[in-house]
Structure 1
Amino acid sequence: MNSPQAIIHLSSSSLISFLFYGLAITCLTSATVSASYGGNETDYHALLSFKSMITQDPYQVLTSWNHSFHFCDWSGISCGKRHKRVTVLRLVSKGLEGSFSPHVGNLSFLRELHLWNNSFQGTIPHELGRLSRLRALSLSINKLSGVIPTNLSGCSNLEVLRLAKNKLVGSIPKELSLLSKLASLVISYNKLTGGIPPFLGNITSMEEFDVHENPLGGSIPDTLGLWKNLTGFYSSGCNLYGHIPPSIFNLSLLVNFSLPGNHLTGSLPSEIGNQLPNLEYLQLRNNELNGVLPPSISNCSKLGILEMSYNNFSGRLTIDFSNLIDINEIWLGNNNFHGPGEADDTRFVDYLKNCTKLVVLSLFSCNLTGVLPISIGNLSDQLTFLDLGDNQLFGSLPSSVGSLVGLTTLYLGDNRFKGKIPSTIGKLKKLQYLSLDSNQFSGPIPDAIGNLSLLTELYLYFNKLEGHIPSSLGNCKELNLLNLKNNRLGGKIPKQLLQLPSLTVGLDLSYNNLSGSIPSEIKDLKMLSYLSLAHNNLSGNITSNLGECISLTMLNLSGNIFEGIIPSSFSSLGALGVLDISENNLSGRIPKFLGKWKSLEYLNLSFNDFEGEVPVEGVFANASLFSVLGNDKLCGGLVTLELPKCKETGNKKKRFPFFIFVIVIAPTLLIVLCCVYLLCKKKRNSQPSQSSGNERFLKVSYNQLLKATDGFSTANLIGEGGHSSVYKGILDSNDDKSVAVKVLHLQSRGAHKSFIAECEAWRNIRHRNLLKIITSCSSTDFQGNDFKALVYEFMANGSVHDWLHSSAYTSKMNHLQRINILRDVANALDYLHNRCQTTIVHGDLKPSNILLDDDMVAHVGDFGLARLLGTGLNQNSSTGVKGTIGYAPPEYGIGSEMTSCGDVYSFGILLLEVMTGKKPTDDMFNDGLSLHKFAYMALPDQVIDVIDNDAIVLQSTEANAKKVEECLAATIKIGVSCSVDSPPQRMKIEIVVNELQHILDVLQNI
């Protein structure tokens, strides 16, 4: 038996041995780690911490970040050869999402950190201030918020700081002035305020300064004149005011000088061209600058882009462009370059012949007076855009203009040109846009114009052109708009012109001397939106083929000699907003279908020979929306028309003899009904409980749906509303594809009615942008309770609401995806309103009812509040709930019936929410401010401030950024136009479709 002392001694020995063993293991492990990472565990753990905060890695770029490789071999990592410490961390455009780990501040040997074009969120870690060796920090195009950390001043060797296209706020911190080696500061596209601080002038190493598109305010400090090495100065759209300090013009190394879209005043120094000889990009458009445009600019021999449009410059344009052999774009429009007296203001054209790289020449609205010289034909064959419109140019248009074979756009409208249009215009084979309108051109339209096979828009209105419309226009297969209004053209309308399917936007031949009838080929213009043949000498009956132009929104046939009745085929023109057939010899009764058109905003039937009763429905219910003056045989209608009452004719009508019905028709009808009843009964008795494969919809039972959704488990619940719950499931009979099962809460008031409405709607519709219904189920559950459900195709990408507002969707949609989705929704509405046999009003359009498939194609769903107009079905009570608060139009709140105009309002709100990221019920919308007003106040120049930051993708060039901004503004304008309070003033959905498609076409070409 051991003594206590022995036990104590044994225990102590064991403990010592155990501790020694543990220490050995620890040392061995430490030695192993040290061997693996060269003693640089700090960098290793910092990188692992960085990785741990990444929530999305779609390209799997961080898969190499594991124990199998030394961290110097990890993707995106570079190390120094001597110390094996991390010197470069570069993960650019990798789709990474997550927060920015503060442990990056432990990479003490780091020289370059490049994480631009990802989706990092949260603030910039102040721990980055510890990186004293850091030379380049590039975090642009992320979702970083908060302020610029003041202790970045600790990065004493920093040369490049790029934080553009984030969500940074606050002012530029004073501590940045301590970065004595900083050469490039790029902080554009944020929300920074507080002006450009004067202390930045202390950073004398500055070479590139970019703060454009920040609401900075204030003036340009003259201390920036200390930046003697500056080559790039970009401050567009910063709300800057005051003069440009003279010290700026002493920065002789300046290459790019861009200050457009501010409120700068004063004049430019006369010696600017001598002071800034290295300028390649001079952009001062959209300011309030005045005085003479200095001739010394001709000494900027490297100048490539000159943008001075939309200012108050005056005096004759005396720049000697012959010295600017590298000039690429000249934008000088909207100034006043008219010299004193009767001087010729176009002499500058002679100096442009040496500018062989010139692509753009724009001097619209400059009050230029004089004759366009023949030397215009000597301009560069690279010239694609020439705009001299809205000036005082006179004389003939030189035939030498035909030498500008590179032109795609030619604006010469709103001048005083006279004489013939030169046939040499037909040599401009690349021309897509031609504007010669509002001049005094005479003679015929040259046949050679038919050589312009790429032409999309042609404007020749308000001239003195005569002769026939050339049939050669039929060769312009891309033409979508032709305006020949207010000329002296005669003869018949050439059928070749009407056989252009590309003609979709507009055809205006009004106020000419055209004769004959409308050619039957008019039927080929099925997508034409605007047609005006008014005030010609057209005669005969109005061709019924016009009824095939189903996309027309405006039709004007007034002031001709048409006779006969309004064709019944016009009933197909349900998209019309304006119909004017006044001042003709039309007769007969006013068709009732005119009163049923929901889109009609104005109807003019005056000064014809119509007879009979004036309807009181639709447009005829409002006397300000129609005119029937000068039709002496009309009666009835609104009291305000003061027409005579219609005579009672009911008793004088010959009635069908009742005894013939009793003796002949009634027995026959009874026999037929009996046969139908017996056949139906026999079919019903012999029909199996499950449907055959030939039926339109497969039949499913409660048990099948129970099994498909795993007993309607909460794990499969993907949505819930007032009347229903939606579950994800898999039907055996659906090829094991996922479905969405919408189960009605029948105990909820209105649920049964919602089910009937939705079934009735789905019975009538099929469209690519509508949610596809698979089947429905009307049965009982295992307790004998009524059970009703609808089964839809499952949409893998959820709803638009999820993408906009759910934290589960960390990636966000860009502007192109959003506008594509809006186009899809508009297409669906256009189908429901205008392309269905029965007009269908959705009644509850909102982001949660717009579902997205695998390809992000939008599908409109949930027709629980739908109404089929003109059927008597689903006539919602005027006191019932119509739509959702925030999306329902204001007229529904005062008891008005549901209409397609109401859907357009909901679409407008939906559009604004998609583009701004703000719900119409957001807390910010109070005290008279609404989502509609919020967007309206941003038009046209502040739209970028209301667009959801997640939607905007930074563009590679200023020109592309401008195009994107214009497209975003056009999109917001559509939403505002759709969501006005007055239903008749809302944009038509078919126009919305065209406008959104046009915007998408522009964006996809950027």
Structure 2
Amino acid sequence: MTVNDLRSEVVDATSNGSDKDGRERVQWLMGNETDRLSLLAIKAKIIEDPLYALSSWNDSIHFCQWQGVTCSRRHQRVTALDLHSQELVGSISPHLGNLSFLRELLIQNNSFGDEIPPEIGCLPRLQILQLSNDLIGGQIAINISRCANLISIDFSHNGFVGEVPVELGSLLKLEIVITEANNLRGSIFPFVNLSSLRNLYLDNNYFNIEWKSSLGLGNHSPNLELFGINENQFTGSIPVSISNASKLYSLETVQNKLTGKVPNLSRLQNLERLLLANNQLGFGEADDLNFTFSLINATNLHRLEVNINNFGCKFLEYIGNLSRNLEYLNIDHNHIFGIIPPGILNHVGLQSLNMQFNQFTGTIPREIGNLQNLRRLNLDDNSLSGVVPTQGVFSNASEISVVGNTKLCGGVAELKLPKCNLKVDEKRRSNSALALALSIPFGFVGLALMGCALYRCWFRKRRKDTPSYSSKNLLLRVSYQTLVKATDGFSSFNLIGVGSFGSVYKGVIDGRIVAVKVLTACSTIDYQGHDFKALVYEFMVNGSLEEWLHQNCNEDLSNEEFKKLNLLQRLNIIIDVSCALNYLHNQAQSPIVHCDLKPSNILLDKDMTGHVGDFGLGKFLAHCYKSLLNIVRNLNGIFF
């Protein structure tokens, strides 16, 4: 349409019909022509179009049919301009601001240079601004803040410099902000108070502020789902307020200068990705344990990267309790020592496991080869020894790396490790045969000891006087307030253990040291009105039998003062445990099978008396167990 044609139509519109209809017709005609001329001005700023994306932009067809142009049906005004990935070279025309009905501007993956024109602030209906992977530089245009309906901004992989304009904090509908790979610095305050924000991805810039609770993130961003600040210069520690963003599924802080402990993340039950690598996080055993306990509720967690930090061996004690959906685990370059934890084997979906540059000792569990999905295993630069397995992931030398473990042998030929000493193997087989030969008579001795233990339990019961008062009178009933005070508010400092059914805290009630196990069932309510139930036990000052049988990985291996049990103590503990099991099986109102009896569940008091604890997996059997008891009694009759 020429200018004369437009003038002719305007005259016709004003001379025919009502004044209102005429004005609307004029506005429609003028708006249409404004959009057409603006698009031609945008085309004029394109200096290279190798794919001929703009070849249709001419008078042969209506501009609403031009490639990449979308118009509204009623007014025939441009609502979307999509020229992404067309290899266009040029700059953004200021005439863009005349497309006043524009809702989407998608020009990513091209080579648009220069700066964003300030006329972009004349687009009040703009909702999506996609400028990623271009060559745009300069500062982010302040006038973008006038686009009040913006929902999504993507400035990634450009050359933006300076600070984020504080005015962008007025975009109350903003849900997605991506500024990855630019040269931005300073504060991110404009974004953190936006309650509508879902994705905030600021990777690979120069943001250099201290991350603290005053930043507001989490407190004012309840809908936040993804937060990424990888490869920046953030300092300070991760604030507790991040746990208020309960919808968060990805938290990424790789390669910053963060220090201190990781806060309690147990409220982040939707967490799928936790990437904290290359910082200075973790500095003590309590921090390692607390970090792992925070994560137990994250049942969807499939990627965990804490490599290049200060975590120690306590970090792995409960690794087996983490999500069974875990696929990628990176713990390399920390201060972890001790054996490779058996809990690793619980993660059957594991695809990549990196444990290099730590201080792991002992042998490589051959069961790792049974992890059918494992495609990458790196154990470089540890102190592992013994035979390298050959099944599963170990069968492909390109999928594993064990460089720097000088005491390893065997494995597939491609690893070029020394052959294992056959004489040692023969000696081990000989020792195994000897152990088998000795186990038979010792087995009978063990059965005899068990008989003695059962007799002792029966003898104790016969000698015990029946109390003249009800045992219920011995039970103390304490308030929630008392338990809060006794455990210093259930502080992490007093946390001494976590099981599948609750956490255990050390406390003091009326001068007596106790262990408080907080459960999930309902018995009373806490200060917030939540269901609360806890059990108070006598505190076992000598810990668990596990600590006496196996030296803790954090203890000095050269120290000969670690815990030891003599033969008499071991026999007494066996008898104590036998008595406890006899009670559970024969004396309880309903027979109980513990189902998880192990050294860590046998606790020792100040007199080294053994107590069986942790009945989280206990089973109550009413009928079928009676037949099993009869079988056991018959066997007792044979051997004793």
TM-score band by shorter chain is 0.5 to 0.7
Shift of 1:300: 1.6
Shift of 1:367: 1.8
Name the Cα RMSD after superposition.
Answer: 3.3
- C-alpha distance in structure 1 between counterparts of 2:144 and 2:370, whole Å: 55
1:423 alignment partner, one of 340, 343, 366? 366
Identity of aligned residues (%): 31
Does 2:440 correspond to 1:440?
no
2:462 match: none
Q: 1:425 to 1:362 in 2, by over 3 A?
A: same
1:782 match: none
Aligned length: 375
- C-alpha distance in structure 1 between counterparts of 2:362 and 2:318, whole Å: 19
Q: 1:99 to 1:319 in 2, by over 3 A?
A: farther
Does 2:250 correspond to 1:309?
no
Q: 1:252 to 1:269 in 2, by over 3 A?
A: farther
For residues 358-373 of structure 1, the aligned pairs below 5 Å read 358-373=301-316
- C-alpha distance in structure 2 between counterparts of 1:152 and 1:104, whole Å: 22
2:401 alignment partner, one of 456, 459, 480? 459
Taking structure 1 as the reference length, the TM-score comes to 0.35
For residues 840-855 of structure 1, the aligned pairs below 5 Å read none
- C-alpha distance in structure 2 between counterparts of 1:287 and 1:100, whole Å: 44
Taking structure 2 as the reference length, the TM-score comes to 0.54
Q: 1:422 to 1:412 in 2, by over 3 A?
A: same
Does 2:118 correspond to 1:178?
no
2:493 match: none
**Quick one: which amino acid aligns to residue 345 of structure 1?**
D
Do 2:54 and 2:67's aligned partners in 1 also have CA atoms closer than 8 Å?
no
- C-alpha distance in structure 2 between counterparts of 1:450 and 1:114, whole Å: 53
Deviations 1:103-162 (A, max 9, x none): 49964xx4x97629xxxxxxxxxxx9xx98222221111122222111222211211111
- C-alpha distance in structure 2 between counterparts of 1:269 and 1:308, whole Å: 14
Shift of 1:418: 1.8
**Quick one: which amino acid aligns to residue 231 of structure 1?**
E
Secondary structure at the residue paired with 1:153? helix
Do 2:221 and 2:245's aligned partners in 1 also have CA atoms closer than 8 Å?
yes
Do 2:262 and 2:287's aligned partners in 1 also have CA atoms closer than 8 Å?
no
Secondary structure at the residue paired with 2:309? coil
**Quick one: which amino acid aligns to residue 415 of structure 2?**
L
1:414 match: 357
For residues 696-715 of structure 1, the aligned pairs below 5 Å read none
- C-alpha distance in structure 2 between counterparts of 1:105 and 1:369, whole Å: 69
For residues 722-737 of structure 1, the aligned pairs below 5 Å read none
Q: 1:364 to 1:396 in 2, by over 3 A?
A: same
- C-alpha distance in structure 1 between counterparts of 2:175 and 2:294, whole Å: 28
1:352 alignment partner, one of 282, 286, 295? 295
Deviations 1:761-808 (A, max 9, x none): xxxxxxxxxxxxxxxxxxxxxxxxxxxxxxxxxxxxxxxxxxxxxxxx
Shift of 1:489: 4.9
Shift of 1:452: 4.9
- C-alpha distance in structure 2 between counterparts of 1:433 and 1:261, whole Å: 27
Does 2:43 correspond to 1:99?
no
Does 2:203 correspond to 1:260?
yes
Secondary structure at the residue paired with 2:324? coil
1:300 match: 245
1:878 match: none
- C-alpha distance in structure 2 between counterparts of 1:265 and 1:230, whole Å: 23
Q: 1:371 to 1:397 in 2, by over 3 A?
A: farther
For residues 27-106 of structure 1, the aligned pairs below 5 Å read 97=53, 99=55, 101-103=57-59
1:378 alignment partner, one of 321, 324, 347? 321
**Quick one: which amino acid aligns to residue 259 of structure 1?**
L
For residues 381-780 of structure 1, the aligned pairs below 5 Å read 381-446=324-389, 449-450=391-392, 452=394, 456-463=398-405, 465-466=407-408, 468-470=409-411, 473=412, 482=415, 484=417, 489-490=420-421
- C-alpha distance in structure 2 between counterparts of 1:159 and 1:227, whole Å: 15
Structure 2, gaps ≥5 residues long: 1-29, 44-50, 424-640
Moved over 4 A (4+): 95-98, 341-344, 449-455, 487-492
1:288 alignment partner, one of 217, 226, 233? 233
Shift of 1:223: 0.6
- C-alpha distance in structure 1 between counterparts of 2:318 and 2:117, whole Å: 55
**Quick one: which amino acid aligns to residue 469 of structure 1?**
G
Do 1:431 and 1:454's aligned partners in 2 also have CA atoms closer than 8 Å?
no
- C-alpha distance in structure 1 between counterparts of 2:246 and 2:150, whole Å: 24
Secondary structure at the residue paired with 2:190? helix
**Quick one: which amino acid aligns to residue 384 of structure 2?**
F
Q: 1:353 to 1:253 in 2, by over 3 A?
A: same
Secondary structure at the residue paired with 1:351? helix
Do 1:344 and 1:369's aligned partners in 2 also have CA atoms closer than 8 Å?
no
Q: 1:305 to 1:106 in 2, by over 3 A?
A: same
1:214 alignment partner, one of 150, 158, 163? 158
Q: 1:416 to 1:344 in 2, by over 3 A?
A: farther
Structure 1, gaps ≥5 residues long: 1-41, 55-94, 117-127, 475-480, 493-1006
Shift of 1:368: 1.4
**Quick one: which amino acid aligns to residue 462 of structure 1?**
G
2:543 match: none
Q: 1:351 to 1:389 in 2, by over 3 A?
A: same
Secondary structure at the residue paired with 1:391? coil
Do 1:403 and 1:427's aligned partners in 2 also have CA atoms closer than 8 Å?
no
**Quick one: which amino acid aligns to residue 310 of structure 1?**
Q
- C-alpha distance in structure 2 between counterparts of 1:97 and 1:133, whole Å: 20
- C-alpha distance in structure 1 between counterparts of 2:136 and 2:282, whole Å: 40
Deviations 1:548-568 (A, max 9, x none): xxxxxxxxxxxxxxxxxxxxx
Do 1:411 and 1:434's aligned partners in 2 also have CA atoms closer than 8 Å?
yes
Do 1:372 and 1:394's aligned partners in 2 also have CA atoms closer than 8 Å?
no
Shift of 1:199: 2.0
Shift of 1:313: 0.7
- C-alpha distance in structure 1 between counterparts of 2:89 and 2:421, whole Å: 66
Does 2:68 correspond to 1:115?
yes
Shift of 1:98: 5.4
Do 2:56 and 2:67's aligned partners in 1 also have CA atoms closer than 8 Å?
no
**Quick one: which amino acid aligns to residue 55 of structure 2?**
S
Deviations 1:345-387 (A, max 9, x none): 2531233233222221111101212334342122223222110
- C-alpha distance in structure 1 between counterparts of 2:278 and 2:261, whole Å: 14
1:226 match: 170
Shift of 1:394: 1.6
1:772 match: none
Which structure is larger by alpha-carbon Rg, 1 or 2? 1
**Quick one: which amino acid aligns to residue 288 of structure 1?**
Q
Shift of 1:236: 0.7
For residues 987-1006 of structure 1, the aligned pairs below 5 Å read none
